[in-house]
Structure formats: structure tokens, C-alpha cells
Amino acid sequence: MNTVFELDRARHAVPQLYELLRTRIVSLELEPGASLSRPQLSAEFGISQTPVREALLKLAEERLVDVFPQSATRVSLIDVAHAQETHFLRRAVELELVRDLAIKRPAALLAHLDGLLARQAALRDAGDYGGFTEADQAFHRCMYETEGKDDLWTLVRSRSGHIDRLRRLHLPAAGKLNRIIADHTRIVTAMRAGDVAAAQDALRVHLSGTLEYVDTIRQAHPGYFKTR
């Protein structure tokens, strides 16, 4: 990491650095097992080691880095059990969200989701995996926000680093982007029709789309995974 990134000096450094490093980890720019040096990060971002340490501790709370006192800090290996547990939590929450939204059918949300579907299609065609992932996250986040469940989104996101990395590894698989768009389309169509069962069924299928292939993903990237 040799490129100097200029932080916004009008804002606190810790949350900015945390978000930047989290993005690099989840996108796999920083690979599982990669070493993180406080002095190097301090030099890259032009800040002292104190905010670097605080950002790394916040990432450690999310189990995205492993901090070894007086030794090294490394990007954590992907923990499949943690990913499965997070999937269970997210599925339980979002099944209730789509139920309520299918009953209410909020026009503003449905229009926004339509726009996100169009954006995902454009990003798929451009081969922009990073942008596609952001649009995918936005699709789910706006449902939480519409229902006033922002804190639940924050909770789910704080636990999602491992399953998000699994999804990022799976994105290049043939047909994966098309399947995500098709799943999202089915969710929106069912909510617009007020069909609670169909919306929940579409969401359930959608959220299981990566964990079904976890063994294949692990075989392709064995060094990225935690062993038990």
C-alpha cells in the first residue's frame, strides 16, 4: 500500500480510516492473512499511529483483523461458521422487513428499488464488481431505512464482513450477477403485488445464494479460510 490517500482533515480520522480499511478488506484488496503495519498505514494516510490503532481495534471488534499484542496485526481469515451465523440473523430480520413492506407497498421505496435494479444491470454490464456490491448493499439497506430500522442495519453490517468476503469471492462465478438481479427483481415484484409469501420466498432464496457454494469457494481459495 504505497499510494498516499488524503483524508478529509475537517473530519475525524478514525471513522474515515476504519471505512477505508474495511472496504479494502471486504473487497479483498487486502487479502485474508495480509499483514497490516501501523507505521506503514500511518505513513500512507499521513496521520499518527494513534488513530491507526483505534481504527484497527474497531475492525478487530468486527473480527475483520486479528491483533496480536507486541507482534502483528493481520487481516482475519474467513470464518465460515461466523458467516453462517450472520446469515441466520440477517435472514430472520429481512424476512420480517419484506413482510411488512409487501403489506404496505411504499411507492417511494419501490421506485428507489427499481432505480437500484437498473444501476445493478449497468454495473454488471460494465464488469464493475465493486460498484455492483455497493448497489447490492444499498438495495437491502434502504429497506431497513424505510422501516426505521437503521440500528438493525448497523448491527447486521457490523457482523457481515466474513459473509461479504464470501460473496465477493463468488461474484465472478458464471451467472452470479444475473442471479442477484433476478432475485432482487422477484423481491420487488412480489412487494409491489402485496404478495407476502412470494416476497419472503424470493428473499430466502436470494440470501442463501452464496452459502450453497461455500465448499466450492473454499476449494478455490483454501488459504483464505480459517480452519477449525
The residue-averaged pLDDT of 154-166 equals 97
Residue 103 forms part of a structural domain: yes
- Residue 76 burial (C-beta neighbours within 10 Å; 0-12, 13-18, 19+): buried
Full domain range(s) for residue 200: 80-224
Asked whether residue 55 falls in the same domain as residue 154, the answer is no
Over residues 46-63, the pLDDT tens digits come to: 899 999 999 999 999 999
Asked whether residue 52 falls in the same domain as residue 93, the answer is no
pLDDT band at 1 (very low <50, low <70, confident <90, very high): very low
pLDDT band at 197 (very low <50, low <70, confident <90, very high): very high
pLDDT band at 5 (very low <50, low <70, confident <90, very high): low
Residue 174 forms part of a structural domain: yes
Residue 2 forms part of a structural domain: no
Over residues 86-109, the pLDDT tens digits come to: 999 999 999 999 999 999 999 999
Q: What is the reported pLDDT for 11?
A: 84
Asked whether residue 105 falls in the same domain as residue 203, the answer is yes
The residue-averaged pLDDT of 113-128 equals 98
Q: Which three cell numbers stand for residue 152?
A: 438493525
pLDDT band at 72 (very low <50, low <70, confident <90, very high): confident
193-200 CB contacts, 8 Å cutoff, 24+ apart? 193/102, 194/102, 194/103, 194/105, 195/102, 196/98, 196/99, 196/102, 196/103, 199/98, 199/99, 199/101, 199/102, 200/95, 200/98, 200/99, 200/102
